[in-house]
Amino acid sequence: MKPPATPYYLIDERKLLRNLRIIERVRDESGARLVLALKCFASWAVFDLMRRYMDGTTSSSLFEARLGHEEFGKETHAYCVGFSRNDIRKVKKFADTIIFNSVSQLMRFHRDARGKKIGLRINPGFSYSHFDLADPARRYSRLGVTSLQEMRDAAPFISGVMFHFNCENGDFAAFSSHLDRIGDRYGRLLERLEWISLGGGLYFTKDGYPLKAFCRKLKEFGDRFGVRIYLEPGEAAITRSAELVTTVVDIVYNEIDVAIVDASVEAHMPDLLIYRTPAKIDDADKGAHRYMIAGRSCLAGDVFGTYRFASRLAVGSTLRIADAAGYSMVKKNWFNGLAMPAIAVRRPGGRIETVRTFTYADFKNNLS
């Protein structure tokens, strides 16, 4: 099948498989269970493939929990910073594990969650993050319980705990040290529980990551406290597996050549603007031809970055923005009424399948 018109997201299942096979190895060698973080990636057109290698999904809202249950199956973990009673009553239909963010939420709703595995999020007071915006242990953080006494009081009502304390952590030594601190500080609590989630944000699928040591560390920790370990990979599961395919629609000059494409950072890859990081374009760093690549929204700062290409760009040139899956597809929006990129999947045999296109009706019905 021919690809859709640009712009479109292209998920390559052959590249996705590389990450999934590493996940399979971690499961086999560590005994941990791995659930996909839907807050990062929720494109269910590839869930048939992902469920063969993963144990389920974890969510941050009622809608994500429902999507995980309906489209992925297997285990469905439900967490939210702030549940309402109505949320809990509905999420019970879809989740087998419900994790509360605070002791007050736990005590208010644990009876409503009866029959499910119940957990509590803990904030250990330390984390690994390159960005304050994403640091779960930042000052005044609302994410998780900090009081040891509150944890002890909550212990009779829970079967597990979640520590989500990493963001893009590819440093095994830092992770290992932090895990030791968790064991030393919370060991007595863990010995009373059945499971522990170490959250996501661990970049164990990157090239050169010491997988053998990582798996051994997880297994030793689980054996030491008699708990089943869960990991919640998002980015690690889908990194380098998707791209945003765009076309140059104009080239203007203002001290530098600026190539305008038919996509938008603000609308289609907003995480780049949020964290002020440039887009990745492969093999665009050493050429003789320098261009700023910009989006076509009216936002002045709608810029993907500045690159050097081996050949000159022209109207009609195709540009592929790499790593467009994690925190991009779930955050895309209708700013300026720009056409929403279609979603296409390259299956393992090489066939490209367009799985979703968006129309004016989708734009109109997004509001009222």
DSSP state, residue 6: S
Among 120, 115, 103, CA closest to 193: 120
pTM score of the predicted model? 0.96
| 205 phi/psi in degrees, rounded to 5 | -95, 5
Mention every residue, 6+ apart, whose C-beta is less than 8 A from residue 265. 272, 273, 279, 295, 297, 302, 303, 304
Stretch(es) of the chain classified as CATH 2.40.37.10: 240-365
Reduce the DSSP state of residue 282 to 3 states and report it.
coil
| Residue 345: both structure tokens together | 């999947």
Q: Residues 195, 227: contact at Cβ < 8 Å?
A: yes
Q: What is the crossing angle of helices 172-190 and 211-225, to 10°?
A: 10
Question: What is the per-residue DSSP string for 94-151?
Answer: T-SEEEESSHHHHHHHTTTTTTSEEEEEB--S--B-S-GGG-TTSTT--SSB--HHHH
Residues with Cβ within 8 Å of 41's Cβ and at least 6 positions away in sequence, in order, are 234, 235, 237, 238, 325, 326, 329, 330
Residue 180 and residue 184: Cα distance in Å, rounded? 6
Which residues make Cβ contacts (< 8 Å) with residue 349, sequence separation at least 6? none
**250-261 exposure pattern, b = at least 16 Cβ within 10 A, e = fewer:** eeeeeeebbbbb
* CATH 3.20.20.10 in the chain, residue ranges: 15-238
Burial pattern 293-320, b for ≥16 Cβ within 10 A else e, equals bbbbbebeebbbbebebeeebeeebebe
Query: What pLDDT does residue 186 have?
Result: 97
320 pLDDT band, cuts 50/70/90, is: very high
H or E, element range at 253: strand 242-253
Fold of 15-238: TIM Barrel (3.20.20)
| Topology, domain 240-365 | Lyase, Ornithine Decarboxylase; Chain A, domain 1 (2.40.37)
Name which of 247, 315, 303, 301 is nearest 279 in CA terms. 303
pLDDT digits (tens, 9 = 90+) for 104-152: 999 999 999 999 999 999 999 999 999 999 999 999 999 999 999 999 9
The amino acid at residue 250 is: D
* pLDDT of 2 higher than 90: no
Q: For the chain, what is the mean pLDDT?
A: 97
Instruction: Kindly report, residue by residue over 143-166, the tens digit of the pLDDT.
Output: 999 999 999 999 999 999 999 999
CA dihedral 226, 232, 235, 238 (to 10 degrees): 100
pLDDT digits (tens, 9 = 90+) for 216-273: 999 999 999 999 999 999 999 999 999 999 999 999 999 999 999 999 999 999 999 9
* 38-95: pLDDT as tens digits: 999 999 999 999 999 999 999 999 999 999 999 999 999 999 999 999 999 999 999 9
**pLDDT exceeds 90 at position 334:** yes
| The pLDDT of residue 1 is above 80 | no
